[in-house]
Amino acid sequence: MQFTVTNRELSSKARAGVLKLAHGEIHTPVFMPVATRGAIRALPHFALEQMDFEIILANTYHLYIRPGTSVLENAGGLHEFMQWKRNILTDSGGFQVFSLSDLCKVREHGVEFRSHLDGSKHLFTPLSVLDIQRVIGSDIMMLLDQCIEYPADEKRAAAAVARTLAWAAQAREYYETFDKERQAAFGIVQGSTYPALRRDCALKLIDLDFPGYAIGGLSVGESKQEYVEISELTAGLLPDDKPRYMMGVGSPAEIVESVAHGVDMFDCVMPTRIARNGTLYTSQGRVNIRNAAFENDKSPLDPHCDCYVCRNFSKAYLRHIFRVGEIAALVYNTWHNLYFMKKMMNEIRASVIDGNFEKVRRKYRELF
């Protein structure tokens, strides 16, 4: 893995860079579409390729439950299994264990849980989640961390940070057994909304010297003000020469703010999830395709968008097929929203390079 910051924007900490991984270059800041179980929800594969995404995210917990590591191992890893030629980042599954599974118990050595599908018992340890990600063949592996709910009191948040750091130390040692040219491992900064905890967690992770760092535990219900403060604080603590990844974020407005704090990577299910609910990103802000005003509207969803959907269909048609429940409507909506994200990231990146970032930042803050 090689990361180069190629451009800096002077009014903020925004930066553009190139991250070289085993499956090609990634131009940052970057948005990673989420293929939880080895497929982007409601999006056929070729649409993803057409949009030229350089990296996608998949989920260790979900892939471990189904299809399971033996299937993935037999397939030769997830790239081969899902026929995706470019990069894959996998989160460790920690977040899903804490949010989805039943009877989750945090122990010193790891986290015990029951599958949300069949109730079977499982254990994730800092080492086992790396083993799973070795089988998956992730270009970027995430460490097991302890995710907590929001709000959480400081004592609970401190305990989670301590656990996260202890696990990170074990993982760091185990990571030495990996082919580090093929698989990067990122540490995750936790600490809820407590600046001192965030600082402590970040500095101790930096001591462990990971190839990259993520900011976890945000966009979980905190206020906008808290999000911005913790994003700025934490990003500012992380090494300048390594990629910074904001996990599970977010709206266009949140992304553009964290880019201003020097964050390089983002992932979120929001663009695909709201698409399936009929909510679409446009150059005029959010639009709900169910809107009765579109009944006879022959214009495209977004006249400034040149995606497949906007080049071909009217709002009236998109509204009709969504209302009657056609699956194609989910495909088109998802396609459009992901294209919007890609184009937005391209625009943000270009603005960092040519010095117009503040203008772009203002635009997305106002629209979303």
Binding site for a copy of itself (CB under 8 A): 37-47, 62, 66-67, 70-71, 74-75, 81-83, 295-296, 298, 308, 312-314, 316-317, 320-321, 323-324, 326-332, 335
For the purposes of burial, counting CB atoms within 10 Å of the CB of 188, is it exposed (0-12), middle (13-18) or buried (19 or more)? buried
Q: How does strand 111-114 pair with strand 121-124?
A: antiparallel
Q: Which alpha helices (H) appear in the chain, and where do they start and end?
A: 45-50, 60-65, 69-75, 78-82, 94-99, 126-136, 154-175, 195-208, 224-237, 252-260, 270-276, 308-312, 315-323, 327-354, 357-367
For the purposes of burial, counting CB atoms within 10 Å of the CB of 88, is it exposed (0-12), middle (13-18) or buried (19 or more)? buried
**CB-wise, 223 or 312, nearer to a copy of itself?**
312
Number of helices and strands in the chain (H, E): 15, 16
Residue 200 identity (one-letter amino acid): D
Q: How far is the CB of 147 from a copy of itself (least distance, A)?
A: 23
**CB-wise, 82 or 143, nearer to a copy of itself?**
82
CA distance 127 to 167: 9
CA distance 273 to 251: 12
CA distance 97 to 116: 9
**CB-wise, 79 or 361, nearer to a copy of itself?**
79
Q: How does strand 265-267 pair with strand 279-282?
A: unpaired
**CB-wise, 45 or 362, nearer to a copy of itself?**
45
Q: What are phi and psi of 210, to 5 degrees?
A: -95, 160
Q: How far is the CB of 46 from a copy of itself (least distance, A)?
A: 7
**CB-wise, 10 or 324, nearer to a copy of itself?**
324
Q: How far is the CB of 269 from a copy of itself (least distance, A)?
A: 14
Task: List active site positions.
Answer: 91, 267
Angle between helices 195-208 and 224-237 (to 10 degrees): 30
Nearest alpha carbon to residue 90 among 37, 53, 16: 37
Q: How far is the CB of 330 from a copy of itself (least distance, A)?
A: 6
Q: What are phi and psi of 56, to 5 degrees?
A: -125, 165
**CB-wise, 32 or 158, nearer to a copy of itself?**
32
